[in-house]
Amino acid sequence: MIDYTPLWTIMKEKNISQYALIRKYNFSNSTLARIRRGQHINTSTIEQLCKILDCNVENIIVFVDEDI
């Protein structure tokens, strides 16, 4: 399963709110809602978040093996 916990951490560190993502960076509200619900997003969205937050993919998502 993909976990978005690192995203919320990096956003807090960079002082970028969900509201700022939507208003200042024109990030899709529906995509943000998908992330909040832990649903899948595409790689272009991950790339967009990396550019906005000036970070790497591992700062946005982490893989959690549910079988362990």
User: Where residue 20 sits, what CATH number does that domain have?
Assistant: 1.10.260.40
Q: Give domain status of residue 56, yes or no.
A: yes
Q: Give domain status of residue 47, yes or no.
A: yes
Q: Which domain holds residue 46?
A: 2-63
Q: Give domain status of residue 50, yes or no.
A: yes
Q: Give domain status of residue 49, yes or no.
A: yes
**pLDDT for 68 beyond 70:** no
Q: Give domain status of residue 68, yes or no.
A: no
pLDDT in tens, 3-55: 999 999 999 999 999 999 999 999 999 999 999 999 999 999 999 999 999 99
Q: How many domains does the chain have?
A: 1
Q: Give domain status of residue 23, yes or no.
A: yes
Q: Which long-range CB contacts under 8 A does 55-61 form with residues at least 24 apart? A: 55/10, 55/14, 58/6, 59/6, 59/7, 59/9, 59/10, 60/4, 60/6, 60/7, 60/10, 61/2, 61/3, 61/4, 61/6, 61/7
